Structure 1
Amino acid sequence: MTMQPENETDLIIGLDFGTSATKAVIRDSFAATGVFPVPLNGAHPGINGYLLPTRVFRTGETYSLEQGTHRVANLKLGLLACRAKSPVTEFNDCCAFLAFVIRRARSWLFTEHGDIYRRHALNWRLNLGLAARSYQDKDTVTLFRRLAWAAANLAADPGADTITLEKVDHYRLRSLSAASDEPAGVADFDWSGVDAVPEVSAQLQGFMSSARWDWNSRPVMMLVDVGAGTVDSAMFHVRASADGGGVLTFYSSRVEPNGAMNLHRARVDWLLSLLPDAGNDEATGAHLAAISMPTDRLRPIPESVREYLPAYQLEVIGQDVDEDFFVKRYRAEVAGSINDAKVGKGLPSTQLQRVPLLLCGGGSRMRFYGRIGEAINTTPGWRVGVEIVRLPVPRDLVDTGWHADDFDRLSVAYGLSLAGHGGTTLGTIVRAIDVPEIRPYLPAEREDRFVSKDQM
């Protein structure tokens, strides 16, 4: 910010690239209370001001965050679903969007806190979140690290006042060189200054640095993070160290498309299937079709499928779509995570009682998703007990004025900003695929051997 700096500091951007909303936190490594949540969507009140819809617009060759002839949503899922070894269109759309986000975050910091950093030399670092299951695939990790590098340098390019397809593609190609240790030209962010970090690990590191917890007596924890597109579920062991690094050992980790927007789509598809074939309900069908697809909405979906068409009375024999989704998809995923740890890794039942369950994410506010703790504790044969705990608000977070219960929406971005803090990382992360069995799993009773339909 000045040619003659009087001081120097490291600024770390934690960027949570979500399916429906993206969040950013900037951390000053050397300030005691220097963690700034960025109001990326500042026109909205409360927590929504910090949640930017994950979408970008394109008109011809020009990208925009605000408007355009072509609206591109499903950015993250589209990139992850692309089967090409080196995606082009999907990568470029994501890169343009994230460059806007990074540029907006840095601009906000200089506008709101320019007096603090006016005479500082600033060393920037960017950490981009990645699903824990994706972190087990090295090619996906490299892809997201390339995305972080390209977006960060595009955002910092003074010649890119307008973000165009040509500029985006230029940085996509340069990112291939940067990832291969080939000369990539002069860049504000070098390859070592960006990283792709498991979102669950970041979230847990934030919890470890904020919570007062007896890790020695209760080292096994479970996390269920309900997002718009996916539900992340994991069971892990925490070994905290005096320096705050610690070791996170994953016994299981699942990411499945059971998030709130996929519940919403399942409900819409189910309702459409119930409409009569005759043309009397064309308006209802058109309404349902119109609301079925968006993944970038910030408003919560209804609590029940029965709230979608209040003019209709639903009479269901057997399970409706809500109960079917809960049992066969959401609860089955969580059951799978427990089973992966219990049977796949041999985690003994003695360590599966009073397990702290971190239930978080925007979807966790719905009663539909919030009853998973009760489901775990009351399902016959699981022999697992959980206690739901909430993520505490860290002391070093600059006061924002929103409710403390909303912090979990920013917890991934906060945790991502810890990587590289003071030269440290998020500690040691041991992937589930690298964890051997603790011991062979030998059920002591027939009830443990038999898996009934009620347990899935």
Structure 2
Amino acid sequence: MRLAGGPIGERLPEFDGIDLNEAESVRALAAWFLASVIHRSQRWLAVHEADRLKNRLAVWSANVGVPVEHYDSQALATFEEVLGVAWLWVKEDRVPKTFQQALSSYGVTQPRLVAEVTDFHAVPEIAAAVQSFVMSREAVPGIYVYFDVGGGTVDGVAFNYLNFRGERRINFYSGKVEPLGVSAIGTALSKGTSAEIDAATLEGLLKTCAPSALAEFVQRIRKLVGHVVMTARLKDGRNWQEDAFQSTDYERKFIGKLSASRMRPLIVFMGGGGSKSEWYKSSIESTYKAFQHNNAGVPPYKLVEVPRPKDFIVPKGGADEFIRFAISYGLSFPFGEGPDIGLPSQFGEAQKPRQWTPPSAVDYADSKDAYC
């Protein structure tokens, strides 16, 4: 979020006379963190997967998830620069030992990126999260929504999944990320205490907080949901309220709007560690009624988890919860092997259908000169 220009929480302090809030400091810290993760991962694999690397020269690559809103903005260039610097540090085995070293080394390494080719890629985060879904045989083309509830943020997107004879594509119509994650809200409610805040802790804080504070957070969640859903609705242009129970035995006895109970629901995927929270679920679901989405041509929401792929291996000692690893699973695919991606900026609002006019009607703009 700081790389994208939208920091969460209070300003960072100074360290050894260096302002950590400056853009150069933020980039150096991010690159240092990523390089350290990659370096430690390589060392871990060298020890625990030694048989796979025996008599082989490892060719490394890496992907990192970026919110769709940031991926489809000028912030992407910043992310790619940071990834490139981190990759060169690891490639040359020159990961800095201190922050001061990272800051000075960043300035020296960054100009070299023009002549270097890195195999460290930014990937739309939710594209990685739905990788297991779009690659499954059960995936049906259509409109879907995804909300990833993390520690710091809630990242929401709406996308159109297409499948042209096995050629899969995800067209993202909308994307929005806000600092409304579990830790972000929990820290605000607990007034900055250092206690670790998870979904269960947050539920307790929400039950004891002031009603006005609770209402404010619910409204912010709803605004996020409303933006994601309605932006996609305006861009898609099709009728989303389709009858899910069409049959020869059923005959509509009236002309008018389709009953909500008969509509094919809008599938809303929930992911991230905070997606188990009932408060987040109810806040998202309540948007439909609160914002009158039925009158806007949107079918009722149906909240579901992303299906677990058959080849997913539960981490040793970890809970069997794929929702916490959906993005990591998608990022494990080599860059370019996933479905093609369309970004929100590539899609404008769909043209509204022309209103019916009687055949005998004459457009004044076409005939005004005849009556001068």
Instruction: Check whether TM > 0.5.
Output: yes
Q: Which has the larger radius of gyration?
A: 2
**Aligned mates of 2:240, 2:109 — CA distance in 1:** 51
Question: Which residue pairs with 1:176 in the alignment?
Answer: 111
Structure 1 residues 161 and 134: CA distance shift in structure 2, 3 A:
closer
- Whether 1:247 and 2:169 are equivalent positions in the alignment is yes
1:70-85 matches, cutoff 5 A:
none
Q: What one-letter code is carried by the residue in structure 2 that aligns with 1:247?
A: R
**Aligned mates of 1:255, 1:266 — CA distance in 2:** 18
1:167-316 matches, cutoff 5 A:
167=102, 169-178=104-113, 181=114, 183-184=115-116, 190-191=117-118, 193-209=119-135, 211-216=136-141, 219-241=142-164, 246-268=168-190, 288-291=191-194, 297=196, 299-300=198-199, 301-305=201-205
Structure 1 residues 257 and 251: CA distance shift in structure 2, 3 A:
same
Question: Which residue pairs with 1:453 in the alignment?
Answer: none
**Secondary structure, aligned partner of 2:302:** strand
Q: Is the 8 A contact 2:154 2:180 kept in 1?
A: yes
Structure 1 residues 415 and 242: CA distance shift in structure 2, 3 A:
farther
- Whether 1:92 and 2:28 are equivalent positions in the alignment is yes
- Whether 1:425 and 2:337 are equivalent positions in the alignment is yes
**Aligned mates of 1:160, 1:199 — CA distance in 2:** 26
- How many percent of aligned residue pairs carry the same amino acid? 21
Question: Which residue pairs with 2:251 in the alignment?
Answer: none
Deviation at 1:134, TM superposition (A): 0.6
Q: Is the 8 A contact 1:230 1:255 kept in 2?
A: yes
Deviation at 1:349, TM superposition (A): 3.3
> For 1:337, which of 223, 228, 231 is the aligned residue?
228
Q: Is the 8 A contact 1:153 1:171 kept in 2?
A: no
**Aligned mates of 2:59, 2:165 — CA distance in 1:** 27
Q: Is the 8 A contact 2:182 2:197 kept in 1?
A: no
Measured against aligned partners, the alpha-carbon deviations of 1:26-81 in whole angstroms (never above 9, x if no partner) come to xxxxxxxxxxxxxxxxxxxxxxxxxxxxxxxx9869xxxxxxxx9x8xxxxx6xxx
- Whether 1:127 and 2:63 are equivalent positions in the alignment is yes
**Aligned mates of 1:214, 1:290 — CA distance in 2:** 43
Q: Is the 8 A contact 2:186 2:197 kept in 1?
A: no
Question: Which residue pairs with 1:350 in the alignment?
Answer: 241
> For 1:113, which of 45, 49, 60 is the aligned residue?
49
Deviation at 1:347, TM superposition (A): 4.2
More divergent stretch after superposition (368-377 vs 428-437): 368-377
Q: What one-letter code is carried by the residue in structure 1 that aligns with 2:343?
A: R
Deviation at 1:388, TM superposition (A): 1.8
- Whether 1:325 and 2:325 are equivalent positions in the alignment is no
Deviation at 1:345, TM superposition (A): 4.5
Deviation at 1:298, TM superposition (A): 6.2
| Unaligned segments of structure 2, at least 5 residues | 4-13, 243-262, 356-372
**Secondary structure, aligned partner of 1:369:** helix
Structure number with greater CO (CA < 8 Å, separation at least 6) is 1
Structure 1 residues 164 and 334: CA distance shift in structure 2, 3 A:
closer
Q: What one-letter code is carried by the residue in structure 2 that aligns with 1:257?
A: P
Structure 1 residues 419 and 148: CA distance shift in structure 2, 3 A:
same
**Secondary structure, aligned partner of 2:155:** strand
> For 2:84, which of 135, 145, 149 is the aligned residue?
149
Structure 1 residues 335 and 257: CA distance shift in structure 2, 3 A:
same
**Aligned mates of 1:119, 1:241 — CA distance in 2:** 42
Measured against aligned partners, the alpha-carbon deviations of 1:270-300 in whole angstroms (never above 9, x if no partner) come to xxxxxxxxxxxxxxxxxx4444xx8xx4644
RMSD: 3.3
If the length of structure 2 is used for normalisation, what is the TM-score? 0.74
Structure 1 residues 307 and 389: CA distance shift in structure 2, 3 A:
closer
**Aligned mates of 2:99, 2:217 — CA distance in 1:** 41
1:386-401 matches, cutoff 5 A:
386-401=301-316
Q: What one-letter code is carried by the residue in structure 1 that aligns with 2:178?
A: E
**Aligned mates of 1:259, 1:412 — CA distance in 2:** 16
Question: Which residue pairs with 1:9 in the alignment?
Answer: none
Structure 1 residues 120 and 94: CA distance shift in structure 2, 3 A:
same
Question: Which residue pairs with 2:72 in the alignment?
Answer: 136
**Aligned mates of 1:289, 1:374 — CA distance in 2:** 29
**Aligned mates of 2:206, 2:162 — CA distance in 1:** 45
Measured against aligned partners, the alpha-carbon deviations of 1:424-449 in whole angstroms (never above 9, x if no partner) come to 43332111121133332799xxxxxx
How many residue pairs match? The answer is 318
Question: Which residue pairs with 1:101 in the alignment?
Answer: 37
**Aligned mates of 1:399, 1:426 — CA distance in 2:** 22
**Aligned mates of 1:341, 1:348 — CA distance in 2:** 12
Q: Is the 8 A contact 1:305 1:322 kept in 2?
A: no
1:437-452 matches, cutoff 5 A:
437-440=349-352
